Amino acid sequence: MNLKLSIVNYQLSILLILFFALPLKAQVTIGAQKSPHSYSVLELESTKGGFRLPMLSNKDRDALKLTPDSTEASGLFIYNTDIDCVEFWSDGKWIDLCSATPASSIVNSITLTSAAGTNAQTVCGGTAITPITYSTTGATGATVTGLPAGVTGSWNAGVVTISGAPTTSGNYVVVLTGGSGTGIAIGTITVNHVLSAISGANGVIKGATDLIYSVTPVSGVTTYTWTVPTGWSITAGVGTASITVTAGTTEGPVGAITVRANNGNCAGTSTLAVSVGCPVKTTTGNWLTFMCYNLGAEDAVKSLTPVEQAAYATPADEYGDLYQWGRAADGHQLRNATPVDGGSGSRVISYDSNSQIPVGDIWYGAPVYLGSSPYDWHGNSASYRDDNLWNGKYPANNPCPAGWRVPTWVELKNMDTTNGTDNQNTCQWAPSVNSSYQAGSLVTPLGSIAPTLFLPAAGYRLYNSGAIISENTVGYYWTSTVNNVNYSYAMYIGGSTLNASSNGLHAGCYSIRCVVDQ
């Protein structure tokens, strides 16, 4: 056997014998051939090294869960790797031999170590802040509360770090945990250019004056730059958070009002698309801007206000054309066209192979009436039906001019004129005083002085004969929304309430009142 190995085995054997002999012999010396001192139970002697205590961090030490009542642990020694010092348990607390200070009575502290002023920063929204750091003593952790959205705080190895790109302002608080006392730091992060949405009507009548558009003032913002559509003008409030505007006279979607908040290097912008026409309020809080006349109405009425239209002396000029559901306008006067009997099969309808839309003279010519299910000019065969003719799938099939479209059923429902809790408008029936004056419905948004919309009682064509009836008595206005295989939704007028849930057979011919497409 190797001599070195024999010596090692011999030493281990002696150590084991001594270890098991300890209960028998009260005093032992290891490392030297001598008796221990009378006050020693165990003595270690060596010129090669020392005795190493268990190595514990603060976290490991605290995991022992000793309490002031843990008297049985008195005299327990460890080496604390976080403070590089020996600690022992005495009198219900840990004492470190480096300072002889009870560990649990160390008063924690927190000190800003990032640049002065970083704990009170002002930045542009979405821009990263300069990281904020604090050094701590006596703490085993920290919590950070009140940070604005986009910013986070963390504690690691005695250092608190706050960083991120805020989108809102906030006041934060750092509270240390562990040790004793209360270590607290506070700070502020300010975002100075976050703009609210622009408040104001997104649909207005031609030439409207004293229109107010505003944003919520932002702390720290000194000036605001506004722009308005061509033909509009700002009459008051330049440079402030609220302006007064006069609208132009061009109808349709005319552009947008924008505002930029200026403050040093920060610039936040809000935008509101606006339109000109005959607007009404909706239950969604927006304005729905209608064309001020029926599609196909004579030029003589296109410059009249809703009130003037209600008193116009030549009603027929206001009626406009009557359209079968899903058909394009294409400039043809369908009110005056001669209906074609499509129910007997006497007229052959040709369909485009891609869009399933009829082509030829039926597409551009007279309305086709049908007396049997599904009562659809688009064809009796289900393979020819298409419920998307007016919902934007076929842009060329939109009967309204560029920038306008047929309203949806939901949009017309949202201009409620009933006396319910969600009504946004009132509706007044304007009866025909005599044969020289036009009957119809005058709609006035709540809070407005004068009506903003007039819908004439233009009558309609019957689906099964093509006959025009009920002129100057009732009116039906198409929506772009299909109800079922036979019907699409239409709005009925005939009194002081607008009914947007009426049904119209597709082969019937109704009026169209376009809305701004925005």
Residue-level pLDDT at 173: 93
Residue 374 preceded by cis peptide, ω within 30:
yes
Across 185-200, average pLDDT:
86
Residue-level pLDDT at 10: 44
DSSP helix/strand/coil, 389:
coil
Residue-level pLDDT at 116: 94
Q: Of 357 and 514, which is predicted with more confidence?
A: 514
Q: How far apart are CA 391 and CA 373, in angstroms?
A: 23
Cβ distance 497 to 412 under 8 Å?
no
Tell me how crowded residue 372 is: count the other CB atoms within 10 A of its CB: 10
Across 217-242, average pLDDT:
91
In the chain, the amino acid numbered 287 is: W
In the chain, the amino acid numbered 124 is: C
Task: Summarize pLDDT for 269-326 with one digit per residue, the tens.
Answer: 899 999 999 999 998 888 999 999 999 999 999 999 999 998 888 888 999 998 888 8
Confidence of residue 436 (pLDDT cuts 50, 70, 90): low
Residue 15 in tokens:
């150590």
Residue 402 sits at the vertex; the CA angle it makes with 400 and 406, to the nearest 5 degrees, is 30
Residue 499 in tokens:
């009914």
Q: Of 467 and 134, which is predicted with more confidence?
A: 134
Q: What is the distance of C-alpha 472 from the center of its chain? A: 46
Task: Summarize pLDDT for 363-379 with one digit per residue, the tens.
Answer: 445 666 666 777 777 66
Residue-level pLDDT at 331: 42
**pTM of the entire predicted model:** 0.63
Mean pLDDT of the chain: 81
Cβ distance 452 to 417 under 8 Å?
no
Confidence of residue 5 (pLDDT cuts 50, 70, 90): very low
Residue 328 pLDDT exceeds 90: no
Residue 288 sits at the vertex; the CA angle it makes with 291 and 208, to the nearest 5 degrees, is 70
Residue 301 in tokens:
């009425």
Cβ distance 251 to 291 under 8 Å?
yes
Q: How far apart are CA 441 and CA 459, in angstroms?
A: 13
Residue-level pLDDT at 265: 61
Q: Could you tell me the end-to-end alpha-carbon distance of the chain, in angstroms, rounded to an integer?
A: 97
Across 394-415, average pLDDT:
90
Task: Summarize pLDDT for 203-216 with one digit per residue, the tens.
Answer: 999 999 999 999 99
Q: Of 28 and 8, which is predicted with more confidence?
A: 28
Residue-level pLDDT at 271: 93
List of domains in the chain: 109-191 (2.60.40.10), 203-276 (2.60.40), 288-516 (no CATH)
Task: Summarize pLDDT for 125-159 with one digit per residue, the tens.
Answer: 778 999 999 999 888 889 999 999 899 999 998 89
Q: How far apart are CA 296 and CA 513, in angstroms?
A: 10
CA-based R_g, the chain, Å = 43
Q: How far apart are CA 158 and CA 145, in angstroms?
A: 18
Residue 1 in tokens:
């056997």
Question: Which residue, 162, 161, 160, 163, is CA-closest to 128?
Answer: 163
Torsion of CA 437, 438, 440, 444, to 10 degrees: -70
Residue 378 sits at the vertex; the CA angle it makes with 373 and 382, to the nearest 5 degrees, is 60
Q: What is the distance of C-alpha 228 from the center of its chain? A: 25
Residue 148 preceded by cis peptide, ω within 30:
no
Confidence of residue 351 (pLDDT cuts 50, 70, 90): low
How many residues comprise the chain? 518
Residue-level pLDDT at 342: 56
